[in-house]
Amino acid sequence: TAFLTIQEGCDRFCSFCVVPYTRGAEQSRPAAKVIAEARRLVTQGAREITLLGQNANAWHGEAPDGGTWGLGRLIRELADIPGLLRLRYTTSHPRDMAPDLIAAHREVPSLMPFLHLPVQAGSDRVLAAMNRKHTAADYRRIVDELREARPGIALSSDFIVGHPGETERDFEATLNLVREVGFAQAFSFRYSPRPGTPAASAPNQVPEPEKERRLQQLQALLRVQQAQFNHGTVGITLSVLFTGRGRHLGQIAGRSPFLQPVHVFGSESLIGTEHPVQIAAALPNSLSGTLIQERACA
256 and 222 belong to one structural domain: no
Establish if 99 belongs to a structural domain: yes
Establish if 226 belongs to a structural domain: yes
210 and 287 belong to one structural domain: no
Which CATH number does the domain housing residue 251 bear? 2.40.50.140
| Boundary (domain end) residue, out of 212, 231, 250 | 231
Q: For the chain, percent helix, then strand, then coil, each to nearest 5?
A: 35, 25, 40
12 and 42 belong to one structural domain: yes
In the sheet with 185-190, reading across from the earlier edge strand, the strands are: 114-116, 154-161, 185-190
Which CATH number does the domain housing residue 57 bear? 3.80.30.20
Establish if 296 belongs to a structural domain: no
262 and 164 belong to one structural domain: no
Establish if 297 belongs to a structural domain: no
Q: Please list the ranges in the chain whose pLDDT falls under 50.
A: 296-298
| Boundary (domain end) residue, out of 186, 216, 231 | 231
125 and 269 belong to one structural domain: no
220 and 76 belong to one structural domain: yes
- For residue 25, the model assigns a pLDDT of 86
Establish if 269 belongs to a structural domain: yes
Establish if 88 belongs to a structural domain: yes
Q: Is the pTM of this model over 0.85?
A: yes
* Number of domains composing the chain: 2
Range of the domain at 267: 237-291
162 and 84 belong to one structural domain: yes
Establish if 298 belongs to a structural domain: no
- For residue 246, the model assigns a pLDDT of 86
One-letter amino acid identity for 51? L
Establish if 159 belongs to a structural domain: yes
Over residues 189-224, the pLDDT tens digits come to 999 999 999 999 999 999 999 999 999 999 999 999
133 and 255 belong to one structural domain: no
- For residue 298, the model assigns a pLDDT of 40
200 and 287 belong to one structural domain: no
126 and 253 belong to one structural domain: no
- For residue 294, the model assigns a pLDDT of 55
- For residue 127, the model assigns a pLDDT of 98
- For residue 295, the model assigns a pLDDT of 52
102 and 122 belong to one structural domain: yes
84 and 211 belong to one structural domain: yes
| Boundary (domain end) residue, out of 207, 231, 255 | 231
One-letter amino acid identity for 130? M
287-290 — which CB contacts under 8 Å span 24+ positions?
287/230, 287/233, 287/234, 287/238, 287/256, 287/260, 287/261, 287/262, 287/263, 288/262, 288/263, 288/264, 289/238, 289/240, 289/262, 289/263, 289/264, 290/264, 290/265
